[in-house]
A = this chain, B = another copy of it.
Amino acid sequence: MVKIAILGYGIVGSGIMQVLEQNRVHIEKKAGCAVEVKRVLDKRDLSKELPSIYTNDFETILNDDEIQIVAEVMGGLYPAYDFVKQALLRGKHVCTSNKELVIKHGAELLSIAEEKDLNFMFEASVGGGIPVVRPLNTALTTDEIVAISGILNGTSNYVLTQMSNLGKSYDEALAEAQHLGYAEKDPTADVGGFDACRKLAILMSLATGKQVDFEEILTEGIQNINQIDFAFARAFGFTIKHMIDGRITPSGVSARAVPMLVHQSSPIAAVTGVFNGVMVQAKATDSVMFYGRGAGKFPTAGAVVTDIVDIAKHLHRHIQFSWSSEKIDILPFDSYKTRKLVRLRENKTENFHMAIPAYPGQIAWLTQSETDKSTKDSLKGLNVERILRVYEPMETVYDQNN
């Protein structure tokens, strides 16, 4: 019998209780012992709802030596960070769905866990119900990761899919996403690319074993994308997706969370609606993609329970990869060498032999591989409306000196 505490009884917290209850037999078999929720902490008074296990006092949990695993699903940095750190220092394993916590303090918390032969797991913090962190952790054992790319924000992907497939405007598609509960009232974190950027920082930190600061990741949102962009994208055989795109190359590490042109034949182009899809490229295994729902009560709760079971199986051994707090330098924003679509507000075809006029009065063309900086230089004096980068599955190269 292993006893656990759940911090936070919101949508995910109550989902964990339900998943544990409904799958009791399987969980006991897999974990090698029964899993019992001994305490649930929440700031709301739940003493009537959960009479025997509710507490609003973290000390009760901290001082209870029977509790070996703490599942933190409160969200936010405070008091989550203090609670998690104290739990680890007191010898308790922790799993969390809290992206902010992992990106800000993951390195420190993992190093405490490693030192104390504990596990600090966070599968649910990236990609909800899609297994990403665990396979990445496994892949790192036998292979060398060279790229992590794909779609990690369901809200942006829903909006872009509606725009692409049904011809809706950005505002219409966003309003619909809000109506359906796929977007927050203030959608900035999602449509501005910040959520995807943070998830990428976590995955790149795991892949490199060092601290990738999310502030250094080139981040752009989808708010300016319009039907003209889609018309040109289609004319060249692409669609538009909000992509995370991290590369580990001999010349350095790069990372960006930006709208990109994705070729229609790419499996990533087929990731539509609120679904997420993460492509991991490694030297020996080549490309592996994980696809599924990136959010939602039960997918997320299920991912937390998977961590709980994994911890229950390894109560006496740290089994994860860690990342050190040493910062890794990310290549500067303008050193990306990728093809780009350049769109002009006027139809100056005489200068651009390869330009396609997919929209009245406008033209666009695909540049060859040039850095952001050299592209900018060559466009001086032109009436540029939009530059969209092309997602290159394999061959993107970087040049620090340009």
Which residues on A are within 8 Å of B, measured CB to CB?
A: 19, 23, 26-27, 29-32, 129-131, 134-135, 138, 140-143, 265-267, 269-272, 275, 277, 284-293, 296, 298-299, 301-302, 305-306, 309, 313-314, 317, 319, 321
Contact = CB atoms under 8 A, between A and B. Distances in A.
A116 to B, nearest CB: 15
Given A267-B270, A271-B267, A143 B302 contact: yes
Contacts of A138: 131, 134, 306
B313 A317 contact: yes
A291 to B, nearest CB: 4
B289 A141 contact: no
Contacts of A292: 285-289
Given A129-B285, A142-B306, 8 more contacts: A19-B142, A19-B284, A27-B142, A131-B135, A141-B306, A142-B302, A265-B272, A289-B290
A22 B368 CA distance: 36
Contacts of A302: 142-143, 284-285
A284 B267 contact: no
Contacts of A321: 29-30
Contacts of A142: 19, 23, 26-27, 302, 305-306, 309
B26 A317 contact: no
Nearest to A304: B142
| Copies of this chain present | 2
Nearest to A297: B284
A288 B286 contact: no
A332 to B, nearest CB: 30
Contact of A319 (B23, B30, B143, B277): B30
9 contacts: A30-B141, A129-B284, A265-B270, A267-B275, A285-B293, A286-B293, A286-B299, A288-B291, A313-B317
A26 B269 CA distance: 34
Contacts of A272: 265
Nearest to A20: B142
Contact of A130 (B130, B275, B288, B296): B288
A305 B27 CA distance: 26
Contacts of A266: 270
A267 B291 contact: yes
A32 B317 contact: yes
Nearest to A138: B306
Given A271-B267, A291-B267, A313-B314, A141 B23 contact: yes
A270 B271 CA distance: 9
Nearest to A137: B30
A314 B316 CA distance: 12
Contacts of A289: 277, 289-292
A133 B117 CA distance: 28
